[in-house]
Structure 1
Amino acid sequence: MKTILFVAFFALAAASAFALEEADRVNGENGWYVPQEDGSFEWVDMDVAEEWLERQELLEGRGLTTVPVKFYLYTSSNPSKGKKITATTKSIDASNFNAAHPTRFVIHGWTQSYTSSMNKDIRAAWLSHGDYNVIVVDWARARSVDYASSVLAVPKTGKKVAAMINFLHSNYGMSLDDLYVIGHSLGAHVSGYAGKNTNGQVHTIIGLDPALPLFNYNKPSKRLSSTDAWYVESIQTNGGNLGFLKPIGKGAFYPNGGKTQPGCTLDVTGACSHGRSVTYYAEAVTEDNFGTIKCGDYEAAVAKECGSTYSSVRMGADTNAYMVEGDFYVPVNSKAPFGMIN
């Protein structure tokens, strides 16, 4: 398997032998800096990468590769030890799933698993509020050493999440009206594909710094889009590098301008700033303490030129679905508590 994954990477690298000159490269616009397992980046021209991705997607579509996805349920009755569940009545009946309680799906990004800290932080934040079904998704292809292989698994993974949502909705009456799907990085795009494939509209998707490499802003059908749920919120913390800089959500939030985060010193790869989206969101759910300033557009948010008047909107607030649209600058502290309120 590792050999196949490395071949996929080298196919991209070889195809980029005559890549754009470095001065002409704009990440996400005419190509991507694709992250590698060792923290380095390899440039791939957009036309080359998209042609390669299309060929590989055909192979994925023919079922020649597997996309294992597992689900772990956490509730107030089992807040720290997940119960593995499957889309069968026998499995759900033997779990603590309660359709009368709101449900939250949580989806990790590249190199992570269901035991990663992001899942612990977000599930703990929601369970601190009362009775929820928190279902953590574990998708094995996220742990491919070849980032491109993980990207290729995103659509099928999203469809499998949608299948679980559809099962719980049709067989147990789980409401879509208070369902949240929360994903970080590649997991944000998995969330988007889940929303695109449910029988009925998911209420809310939270995209935590949706991954930029190998995703085209001009192709919303192949990434998380603002139309994938009734309300989509994006918290964008490493824009132009590991995450998108252009707004993804109906409500797009730009902590510290959305590119880099205070307290992330020597953040050469961007991993610290990228991960802060998770940290901020977990704190926002728990504390509701991220004040925001409404901006005319995302460029103003990035430039931090939105004035100094706080809006009534809080980043990550449970009520945002009913009142939020547009781009917001979010002042943040360099250490916890990160949120700033006026």
Structure 2
Amino acid sequence: MTSCFLPAAEKCEEMTDLDLKHSLTGTSLNVRLLFYTRANASCAQLLSHREPFNNSQFNLSSPTTFLIHGYRPTGSPPIWLSDFVKFLLNRRDMNVIVVDWNRGATNINYWKVVDNTRKHNGADLSSIHMIGVSLGAHISGFTGANFNGKIGRITALDPAGPEFNGRPPSERLDPSDALFVEALHTDMDALGYRELLGHIDYYANGGADQPGCPKTIFSGSQYFKCDHQRSVFLYMSSVNGSCPIIAYPCDSYTKFLDGKCMDCGRFQSAGCPVFGYDAINWKDTLVQLNQTRTYFQTNKETPFCKFGYKVDIVTWNQKTHWGYLTIKLSNGQKETQVELNHKYLMFERFVKSSLLALFDTDIQSVKEITLKFFSWFLSSKCHQTVVLYFNRPLCRYDLLLEENKDVTFRPIPCEDSNF
């Protein structure tokens, strides 16, 4: 079946745009389905929400993605909506349906909006991919449950926590709602959900505070929505294919930062899964494992990805010292630095410590490494071996680190060493 082009005179539909007045008084639920294809990427057409696939412009041979927004306290359309649609259509030829339930999502009474999430009607096709933001994630779950989990894929972007935390699977999103369910957590300590919801759950930067987001209430509305909204921009970046982010299976964020979760042996030759749109390539393994918790770190802005080395430290000093390190990599033209201070390390004789160093920039052909040691006490010295490796092995030995003093050296490739 082929796609049909839209007549030039066809009216372009837009998402419902409400204001604070509607937020105060509340609105009745009125779902509108806005339909996009590559032929009308910037001109939405209105579909029947009861029988969307009977529309003559629908290409049944193409996959279909539903994009479902969340709670809209002031009634304005999401700022990311048009870019998200464009990224999806650029990625592949598909039908994109934006579920406009702004009439029903616009209400200061959040609990009334929670009730509205259960009234949405969905469709049953294995080629369906539902991307739900916040409350939209649970809408996707309820839709999937109505069709006995036959929907192909559900992506939950920081699924809503209030009124859903602690609820049984029948009252929230869960892995049985689709053939493949993934959930990204970016604000689990406030607006988001904390526990596992999918076959794979990603906890970006630990799942709570996101880099670049305000830390105090004096920053205004961004303080409340930045962490929560970051989930959308992270996933959009994965759709856009800007830069792959590896998602490391791990029991906790602390273990991840300690470099204890770099081994993805359970995924065999496939290696660690990636976060986002291409995670579908790991579907069979993830579904078999049932529920997998993963972690990764990001930058504060697109393309978000960081580049990692595992750092092993063996100390030879006679006395025990506590402190942390900064590491700088340089290739003579570019440099990048990371401060490994998520916890204080104990530098003790013949004791090995491990950390994960994640840099903002990918430095190819590293020519120089600079270390700086910071101690709890002044005038501390420690004689230690430092080994850096992760995909591109780098090794070095016998470094004397003094308090707050740079030590720069050329790395020795690990294959040329005796380590």
Matched letter for residue 61 of structure 2 = A
Q: Say yes or no: does 1:340 pair with 2:301.
A: no
Counterpart contact for 1:75–1:134, Cα < 8 Å: yes
> Counterparts in 2 of 1:63-212, with a 5 A limit?
66-87=28-49, 95-111=56-72, 115-139=77-101, 140-157=103-120, 160=121, 162=122, 165-166=123-124, 176-198=125-147, 201-212=150-161
Counterpart contact for 1:144–1:150, Cα < 8 Å: yes
Counterpart contact for 2:23–2:106, Cα < 8 Å: no
TM-score, structure 1 normalization = 0.70
**Alignment correspondent of 2:177:** 228
**Relative to total residues, which structure has the larger strand share, 1 or 2?**
2
Counterpart contact for 1:234–1:249, Cα < 8 Å: yes
> Counterparts in 2 of 1:47-66, with a 5 A limit?
66=28
1:306/1:248 CA distance change after superposition, 3 Å: farther
Counterpart contact for 1:261–1:273, Cα < 8 Å: yes
SS in 1 for 2:41: strand
Matched residues in 1 for 2:33 and 2:246: separation?
Answer: 34
Counterpart contact for 2:114–2:135, Cα < 8 Å: yes
**Alignment correspondent of 2:246:** 292
Percent identity of the aligned residues?
31
Matched residues in 2 for 1:319 and 1:114: separation?
Answer: 35
1:302/1:177 CA distance change after superposition, 3 Å: farther
Matched residues in 2 for 1:301 and 1:76: separation?
Answer: 44
1:217/1:119 CA distance change after superposition, 3 Å: farther
Matched residues in 2 for 1:94 and 1:301: separation?
Answer: 51
| Deviation of 1:261 (Å) | 0.5
**Alignment correspondent of 2:296:** 330
1:6/1:136 CA distance change after superposition, 3 Å: closer
**Alignment correspondent of 1:279:** 233
Matched residues in 1 for 2:131 and 2:172: separation?
Answer: 14
Bigger mean CA offset, 325-334 vs 252-261 = 325-334
| Deviation of 1:293 (Å) | 4.4
Matched residues in 1 for 2:78 and 2:275: separation?
Answer: 23
Matched letter for residue 168 of structure 2 = K
Counterpart contact for 2:256–2:295, Cα < 8 Å: no
1:144/1:192 CA distance change after superposition, 3 Å: same
**Relative to total residues, which structure has the larger helix share, 1 or 2?**
1
Cα RMSD, aligned residues only: 2.9
TM-score, structure 2 normalization = 0.58
1:66/1:253 CA distance change after superposition, 3 Å: same
1:188/1:133 CA distance change after superposition, 3 Å: same
| Deviation of 1:309 (Å) | 2.4
| Deviation of 1:3 (Å) | 11
Counterpart contact for 2:64–2:94, Cα < 8 Å: yes
1:7/1:107 CA distance change after superposition, 3 Å: closer
Matched residues in 2 for 1:258 and 1:200: separation?
Answer: 26
Counterpart contact for 1:105–1:180, Cα < 8 Å: yes
2:262 to 285, 298, 309: 309
Matched residues in 2 for 1:5 and 1:336: separation?
Answer: 32
1:153/1:341 CA distance change after superposition, 3 Å: same
1:267/1:84 CA distance change after superposition, 3 Å: farther
| Deviation of 1:319 (Å) | 1.8
1:93-145 residue CA offsets vs partner (Å, 9 max, x unmatched): 55521110010000000117794233323221210123100000011111112
SS in 2 for 1:194: helix
1:171-218 residue CA offsets vs partner (Å, 9 max, x unmatched): xxxxx3332101000111111111111266011100000000111334
Structure 1: unaligned runs, 5 residues or longer: 9-64, 167-175
Matched residues in 1 for 2:80 and 2:293: separation?
Answer: 25
Bigger mean CA offset, 72-81 vs 212-221 = 212-221
Larger Rg: 2
Matched residues in 2 for 1:246 and 1:304: separation?
Answer: 20
SS in 2 for 1:152: helix
1:301/1:133 CA distance change after superposition, 3 Å: farther
**Alignment correspondent of 2:199:** 250
Counterpart contact for 2:135–2:159, Cα < 8 Å: yes
> Counterparts in 2 of 1:15-34, with a 5 A limit?
none
Q: Say yes or no: does 1:219 pair with 2:168.
A: yes
Q: State the structure with bigger RCO (CA 8 A, min sep 6), 1 or 2.
A: 1
1:56-115 residue CA offsets vs partner (Å, 9 max, x unmatched): xxxxxxxxx9531110100000001110100467x7555521110010000000117794
